[in-house]
Amino acid sequence: MKVDGFPIGISERDEVTTPCYSDLTVRAGLLELFHEEHRQLRPGAAAPELKIEFFAFANVNNTIRLRQGRLLVRLSDLLEGAPDLVLRAIAHILLAKMYRKPIDRAHSSRYRKYIASHEVVSKAHLVRQMRGRKRLNSARGRMYDLDAIFDDLNQRFFYGLMGRPRMSWSRSKTRRILGHYDPAHNAIIISRIFDHPSVPRYAVEYILYHEMLHLKHPVRLRGSRRCVHSAEFRAEEKLFPDWRRAEAWLKGL
Ligand SMILES: [Zn+2]
């Protein structure tokens, strides 16, 4: 996965496979804007060959990959009309992630603000409905709202770049499977035992954060092994500030 590219915030399986537009019709100046941000991040480096596509993701989603020396950028079609400053922010964030450079705060906050703006949110909501994604159970429990927790974790740990999959509480109060990510349906299901006032928020967050890492580190399924944790995965799991407390709490379940 690492050799080949660096998917950001999305499992490829969720992608709609037909691009809405090719870079031929991407608006003038967008390629140049990406090249400018590239020059800023890597002065002196040769400009990479770049392909930009707008995609009909089910959510606001942006990805970058390196394939045979070429950078492939896929932007959510919900951002098609975004102002240049916002597109520049996205270019910066994606390229910085790609090259493991620090992300400029001004850019990330500009991107966040734009995404949170009423227009984009309601448009995303409408598009989700139109694209006909059926709900499993509700993401909103009696105590915790999984969509809200996902969005919060997304901002805190993934620069808000992760597309939200379908979120659902499990039907039953299972202790056997605390949470899982289902790539076939692009859904995260969390055991309903966590939807209770006695459960601290950091425990729910930790379970959900783990499942979000599965989105970030897609696994080729082999046989029935569904849950594979690379060293890199485990290291990133420890970036969750409350992981010790959460692990201890989970042991007491
Ligand atoms: Zn796992």
DSSP 35-59: HHHHHHHSTTSPPPEEEEEEE--SS
What letters, b where the CB count within 10 A reaches 16 and e where it falls short, cover 136-159?
A: beebebeebebeebbbebbbebbb
Q: Are residues 120 and 196 in the same domain?
A: no
Report how far ligand 1's centroid is from the alpha carbon of 209 (Å).
10
Report how far ligand 1's centroid is from the alpha carbon of 69 (Å).
31
Q: Sort strands 70-76 and 62-67 into parallel, antiparallel or unpaired.
A: antiparallel
Q: Are 206 and 190 in contact (CB under 8 A)?
A: no
Q: Are 30 and 72 in contact (CB under 8 A)?
A: no
Tell me, yes or no, whether 7 lies in a domain.
Answer: no
Report how far ligand 1's centroid is from the alpha carbon of 16 (Å).
25
Report how far ligand 1's centroid is from the alpha carbon of 226 (Å).
8
Q: Are residues 23 and 126 in the same domain?
A: yes
The domain boundary residue, chosen from 130, 165, 182? 130
* Residues near ion ligand 1 (Cβ under 5 Å): 227
> pLDDT of 87-112, one tens digit each?
999 999 999 998 999 999 999 999 98
Tell me, yes or no, whether 44 lies in a domain.
Answer: yes
Q: Are residues 121 and 189 in the same domain?
A: no
Specify the 3-state DSSP secondary structure of 75: strand
Report how far ligand 1's centroid is from the alpha carbon of 178 (Å).
10
Rounded distance between C-alpha atoms, residue 96 and residue 50, angstroms: 15
Report how far ligand 1's centroid is from the alpha carbon of 154 (Å).
18
Report how far ligand 1's centroid is from the alpha carbon of 9 (Å).
16
Q: Are residues 150 and 183 in the same domain?
A: yes
> pLDDT of 127-182, one tens digit each?
665 554 444 678 999 999 999 999 999 999 998 988 899 999 988 887 777 888 87
Of 138, 57, 130, 50, which is closest to residue 94 (Cα–Cα)? Answer: 50
Return the number of other C-beta atoms located less than 10 Å from residue 192's C-beta.
Answer: 17
Mean pLDDT of 226-231: 67
Report how far ligand 1's centroid is from the alpha carbon of 207 (Å).
9
Report how far ligand 1's centroid is from the alpha carbon of 180 (Å).
7
> pLDDT of 32-77, one tens digit each?
899 999 999 999 988 888 888 877 666 677 889 888 888 989 888 7
Q: Are residues 158 and 219 in the same domain?
A: yes
Rounded to 5°, the CA angle 240-233-175 comes to: 70
Report how far ligand 1's centroid is from the alpha carbon of 228 (Å).
6
* CATH (domain of 32): 3.30.2010
Tell me, yes or no, whether 141 lies in a domain.
Answer: no
Q: Are residues 110 and 57 in the same domain?
A: yes
Range of the domain at 235: 146-251
> pLDDT of 157-169, one tens digit each?
998 988 899 999 9
* CATH (domain of 199): 3.30.2010.10
Q: Are residues 125 and 151 in the same domain?
A: no
Q: Are residues 159 and 122 in the same domain?
A: no
Domain count, the chain: 2
Q: Are 77 and 54 in contact (CB under 8 A)?
A: yes
Return the number of other C-beta atoms located less than 10 Å from residue 51's C-beta.
Answer: 17
pLDDT at 7 over 90: no
Q: Are residues 150 and 125 in the same domain?
A: no
Report how far ligand 1's centroid is from the alpha carbon of 179 (Å).
8
Q: Are residues 69 and 165 in the same domain?
A: no
Report how far ligand 1's centroid is from the alpha carbon of 227 (Å).
5
Tell me, yes or no, whether 135 lies in a domain.
Answer: no
pTM score of the predicted model:
0.49
Residue 138 phi/psi, 5-degree rounding, is -80, 150
